[in-house]
Chains A and B, each alone.
Chain A
Amino acid sequence: MSHLPVLVIAIPLVFAFALPLIFLLGPRVRRPVVFSMGWAYFAVVLIMAGGWRDAGAQPLVYPIGGWGPEIGIALRLDALSAVFSALLALGMLLVILYSQEYVDQGESKYYVLLFIVAAGMMGTVLTADFFNLYVFIEMTAISSFPLVALSRKGKAVFAAFYYMVFTMVSSALILLAIILIYGATGSLNMAEVAAGFGDLSTTLRSAIIGSLVVGLGVKIALIPFHSWLPPAHAEAVSPVSALLSGVLLKTGVYMMIRLLPMLAAGGADALMVRRVLLAIGSLTIIGGHLLALGQDNMKRILACSSVAHMGYIALGLGIGGPLGVGGALFHSLNHLLMKSGAFFAVGRMVHGDFQLELLRGKGRAAPLPGWAFAACTGALIGLPPFGSFASKLMIVMGALAAGMIPAALLLPIGGVLSAMYYGRAYRVIYDAAANFEEGEDLAVPLQTAGVLGFTAVGCVVTLVASPVLWRFFLAVAGGIIG
């Protein structure tokens, strides 16, 4: 049996702890080594994720150390974990390639933390054990806190503190659910728990599902648990904002898609969970967009829009059915591309302070980031020719198929609201009458240009490829909800 599932967790960890040594060797060695590590990580994950097809519909189970399910801790690869591991690794690679200035500055800490996050994310999507899930989400989260505080500015450190407190509470709730699960079923193996979960008493089931929903709700910043997200995502340096908004939020989405259908497998539980997600999702869409309307800081606007987009995903899950869940999956892919792309682009226009006024005319002064920004934010609004149109359409069609017309209306309303605040940003960023201070360095290095181009083109490609992706995500969603 192939050892790839455990290697995708081990390899980034080895990279992380080798990096401080490699950074001692000087800038000439550093650069190629760090970037080839990023590519190697991405390649290994892709090869591993490609392996799920070999096992057909059955998930591929990898027992670590060869121990059986009664004693050992297993990893599991199925369609859902394959999709998410490939997605998260792609996002991670983009972040690694984009942040080359940290290689030049010799900040090994930054890349160490990045690779630990990379390992933790893979562990989160691959583990088949509840307690290991907790360990991996803690590992991912703990290494992301110092990344937020990286600039050491007061605001950034305070945002990191705030983010950390919320995340710790969310982890505590998830741990509480896991303890209850173990106490009630006597097992931590996901497959065994799923088999025996329906026999538990209603009180116990609702306690477990309730603390999971709240814990995961904090993690993906659904309103009313969202207040940590805008400061953390806005005060971090731009590649970290892209990582948090574009990539890390998706681990929370993964856990929601993995755990909630598994535990609330049918009947009253599933209906209740879907109703709660529908209500919270709707609130989050409208609230997130309204929050974004009131901001004057470009990165805060993007961060608040992330809240709204998590709402779309929660709404898709709440609608349920292959179209709703598939739409949520498809939208995760689109959001990863467009939100990280938007943060990447803004990060090349100004440095340090992201007040909208400081961006005046920067879209013209720096043409490539300007175009990338236009493409990614256009995609965030959700009109054709961008892929998020297809994923939102999928959620709308799911809502219509389930007869939920108000839910279907929320998506166009959200689109209009986001067009309002991005329209305001466009008028400032592409202001032709703006003056520039001479000598400001807005040149884009080739590799960064590649990353920007990839995200911008990717936003369009997902529409071109949407017939294929649509069918693919429908099939994956069908496998989850059975």
Chain B
Amino acid sequence: MALPVAYWVVLILFGMGLYCILTERNLIKIAVGLNIMEAGLLLFLVRMAYSPGDRAPLLGTGVIRMADPIPHALTLTAIVIAASTTALLLSFIIQIHRHYGTVDIDEIRSKMK
């Protein structure tokens, strides 16, 4: 079964983000990793709704083959959630930096003790 190129990109982005979260020691890079992972998911949603040759789902244009509008609406919601969580995550990082003067997990851990 040949997977369309876009799905490979989704897999790579998701894996890359997860790898970044699991291995990075820098808080900012973890936040970046989360965003890469979420970008992969969003791309998955958008690509899933569309197969080659589909038209925009507009009322009254007599379109028969059209892209599925539901995933597009879901993508918008997911983008809003991703953006607000990123903002909250960064504000935590700023607070942590104020307390410990670093964004490196190992240094923060050693300063905690």
Question: Which residues on A are within 8 Å of B, measured CB to CB?
Answer: 131, 134-135, 138, 142, 145-146, 149, 152-155, 157-158, 160-161, 164-165, 168-169, 172, 175-176, 179, 182-183, 188
Complex interface: chain B residues within 8 A of A142 (CB): 81, 84-85, 88
Complex interface: chain A residues within 8 A of B95 (CB): 149, 152, 157
Chain B: interface residue count, which band? 20 to 34
A188: nearest chain-B partner, CB-CB: B70
Q: B59: CB under 8 A from chain A?
A: no
Complex interface: chain B residues within 8 A of A131 (CB): 74, 77
State in angstroms the CA–CA spacing of A138 and B42 once bound together.
16
- A sample of 4 more A-B contacts (CB under 8 A), given A142-B88, A179-B41, is A154-B100, A158-B112, A165-B21, A176-B44
Q: Which of B18, B81, B88 interacts with A135 by CB under 8 Å?
A: B81
Q: B89: CB under 8 A from chain A?
A: yes
- Nearest-neighbour CB distance to chain A for B53, whole angstroms, equals 18
- Nearest-neighbour CB distance to chain A for B73, whole angstroms, equals 9
Contact A164 B96 (CB under 8 A): no
B112: nearest chain-A partner, CB-CB: A155
Q: Which of A145, A161, A172, A179 interacts with B96 by CB under 8 Å?
A: A161
Q: Which of A138, A153, A154, A165 interacts with B30 by CB under 8 Å?
A: A165
State in angstroms the CA–CA spacing of A179 and B77 once bound together.
13
- Nearest-neighbour CB distance to chain A for B51, whole angstroms, equals 12
State in angstroms the CA–CA spacing of A164 and B70 once bound together.
28
A178: nearest chain-B partner, CB-CB: B74
State in angstroms the CA–CA spacing of A172 and B88 once bound together.
16
Contact B74 A160 (CB under 8 A): no
Contact B92 A160 (CB under 8 A): yes
A-B CB proximity, top 6 nearest: A154-B99, A161-B92, A157-B95, A183-B48, A138-B81, A168-B34
- Nearest-neighbour CB distance to chain A for B3, whole angstroms, equals 12
> What are 6 A-B interface contacts by the 8 Å CB criterion?
A149-B92, A155-B112, A157-B95, A158-B112, A161-B92, A164-B85
State in angstroms the CA–CA spacing of A152 and B92 once bound together.
10
Complex interface: chain A residues within 8 A of B14 (CB): 176
A152: nearest chain-B partner, CB-CB: B95
Complex interface: chain B residues within 8 A of A149 (CB): 92, 95
Contact B88 A146 (CB under 8 A): yes
B33: nearest chain-A partner, CB-CB: A165
Max count, chain B CB within 10 A of own CB: residue among A138, A149, A164, A179: A179
Q: B108: CB under 8 A from chain A?
A: yes
Complex interface: chain B residues within 8 A of A176 (CB): 14, 41, 44
